[in-house]
Amino acid sequence: MSCAIRGGERRFALALFLPALLLLVITTALPLIYLVWTSFLRIDLSMPWLGGFAGLDNYQKLGNDPRFWNSLGLTLIYTGTTVVLQVVLGLSLALLVMQVKRGQAMLRIAAILPIVLAPVVAGLFWRSLVLAPDFGILDFITRWLGLGSYNWLGEPRLALASVIAIHTWQWTPFAFLVLLASLAALPPDIYEAARLDRANAWQRFWHITLPMLRPAIVIVVILRMVTALSAFAAIFAATGGGPGSATEILNLYAYRLSFTELSVGYGAAVATVLLAVTLAVAFLLFSFRRKK
């Protein structure tokens, strides 16, 4: 291609790309800069006359705030357990379903239902239909099995387990569908060769399937981590972060600080920490992925 055509193409490409890019910069970069700036301010919507520059006060406060450390810990537990559960369950189910000859299409349709549901509705459905102490199905089952009745969302440890279960329920189908698609795309002749070599099922899984699935698993882990780190609506609907602060991950804490307790400046500091955690995780995952 000649230079003139190339130059024309570049200008054309910019003309097509710039509107979207400018809008993205305006709608994401500017608010984030404003968020970091806000985290250095004292903004108390219940006492607006007290506002002003606060320097690092908000961040110093974070260090001595047990509720913040609790929510940071919960974020790590919530993200870690939900991602591991989704990958392990999704992979096991995909391996099992590969053996099912008929009815895969029905399973795929069933798997799509949780994914398309709004997380807030998933949280409400679980709260009312499954976990409610007097008329929820889970309580009915545990009573029927003679295990007794539990206040699934009212007891701190059970509540944390419950919100982890809700998230896992909603997003395991995602891991399942992606891994099922990658399993189906693996070349069958390599298994043939392994079978001739008398490799047993476990050896075939460990030495053939797992290494070949690794790219897909890495993708699932990355995507699931990002979703878990921005989880909000399902927990908000099921427990609101409670009881007390038992399910208050960083998202919920930043929200409650800013919009329930109205100290927006301090809430912004918590959100800034969350942003840093997310960026750090993303950076780690990306560099890990590039190395492999």
Partner 1 sequence: MKARNLVLLAIAVLMMLVWTFPVLWGLVTSLKTEKDVLAYPPSVIFEPTLRNYADVFRGSQSIVPNLISSVIVSGLTTLLTMILAIPAAYALSRLDLPFRKGAGFYVLATQMLPPVGLVIPYFLILRRIGWTDTYQGLVLVYLTFALPFAIWLLVSYFEEIPREMEEAALLDRAGRWRALWHVILPQAKGGIAVTVIFVFLNSWNEFLFAVVLGGNNVRPVTVAMFNFISLEQTQWARLAAAAMAGMAPVIILGLMAQKHIVKGLTVGAVKGGGRR
For partner 1, the binding residues in 232-261 under the rule CB under 8 A are: 232-233, 236-237, 250-251, 254-255, 258-259
Q: How far is the CB of 119 from partner 1 (least distance, A)?
A: 7
Q: How far is the CB of 227 from partner 1 (least distance, A)?
A: 6
Judged by CB under 8 A, the chain residues 57 through 86 that form the site for partner 1 are none
CA distance 110 to 27: 36
Nearer Cβ to partner 1, position 84 or 100? 100
The token pair that represents 289 in the structure block: 């992925």
Q: How many residues bind partner 1 (CB under 8 A)?
A: 91
Smallest CA-to-CA distance from 233 within 132, 121, 155, 128 is with 121
By CB under 8 A, residue 38 contacts partner 1: yes
Judged by CB under 8 A, the chain residues 171 through 200 that form the site for partner 1 are 173-174, 177-178, 181
Nearer Cβ to partner 1, position 10 or 207? 10
Judged by CB under 8 A, the chain residues 82 through 111 that form the site for partner 1 are 93, 96-97, 99-100, 103, 106-111
Q: How far is the CB of 11 from partner 1 (least distance, A)?
A: 10
CA distance 111 to 173: 5
Nearer Cβ to partner 1, position 6 or 207? 6
- Distance (Å) of CA 200 to CA 188, 206, 214, 258: 16, 10, 20, 57
CA distance 147 to 158: 15
Q: How far is the CB of 66 from partner 1 (least distance, A)?
A: 20
CA distance 277 to 83: 16
Q: How far is the CB of 176 from partner 1 (least distance, A)?
A: 8
- In the chain the beta strands, taken as DSSP E runs, fall at 41-42, 52-53
- Of positions 83, 91, 122, 163, contacts partner 1 by CB under 8 A: 122
Smallest CA-to-CA distance from 139 within 154, 156, 119 is with 154
The token pair that represents 31 in the structure block: 């608010």
Part of the chain binding partner 1 (CB under 8 A), chosen from 47-55, 60-68, 114-122, 194-202: 114-122
β 41-42/52-53 pair status: antiparallel
By CB under 8 A, residue 263 contacts partner 1: no
Taking a C-beta distance cutoff of 8 angstroms, is the pair 6, 18 a contact? Answer: no
Part of the chain binding partner 1 (CB under 8 A), chosen from 55-63, 76-84, 113-121, 153-161: 113-121
